Amino acid sequence: MMQLKFVYMKLYVYNYEACLQFYRDILGFDVTFISDYNGCTELNNGEIKLALLKQENLQEILTTADLVSSSETYKSHNSIALSFKVNNLHEVCKQLKDQGVTLVNHEPWNFPDWGFSSICCRDPDGNLIEIQQLLF
């Protein structure tokens, strides 16, 4: 059996600078590595490692870059969502609104069977961000 260990999430984004600002300044990730040459920034919040890479550089890696979920073709399909857990969902909603972030759902959705409430927004590239608070 294969033994896989999660390393980090990579997002190939069109709006690199705006996404960097969103994850760093709004969601509070720390920059742990930045390469202006490659258009790559690694971010970390202590539990999650996230790498942002310029979409245009993806074609150097893949010849079928249009098949990646963040491409313009698939962007509207919501094929990826990043989910984060917080202790106080209402406070986070207020902070996001105060920083000009548009929430997808204006009030938290409750999922009692799954044990959490959540609010959703999108990063500047359109990736869905879900922020959850456990109900118990």
Q: In angstroms, what is the C-alpha Rg of the chain?
A: 16
pLDDT higher at 98 or 2: 98
Domain ranges for the chain: 9-134
pLDDT digits (tens, 9 = 90+) for 29-69: 999 999 877 788 999 999 899 999 888 876 665 554 444 44
Phi first, then psi, for residue 35 (nearest 5°) are -130, 105
pLDDT value of residue 70? 47
In words, the CATH class of domain 9-134 is alpha beta
- Work out the average pLDDT over 104-123: 90
pLDDT value of residue 10? 87
Half-sphere exposure of 7 (CA within 13 A, CB side): 5
Indicate the pairing of strand 81-85 with strand 128-134: parallel
Please tell me the total number of residues recorded for the chain in this structure. 136
CA distance 89 to 86: 6
Residue 123 clears pLDDT 80, i.e. is over it: yes
pLDDT digits (tens, 9 = 90+) for 64-105: 444 444 445 445 546 678 889 999 999 999 999 999 999 998
Residue 126, sorted as left (phi over 0), alpha (psi -120 to 50) or beta, turns out to be: left
pLDDT value of residue 62? 55
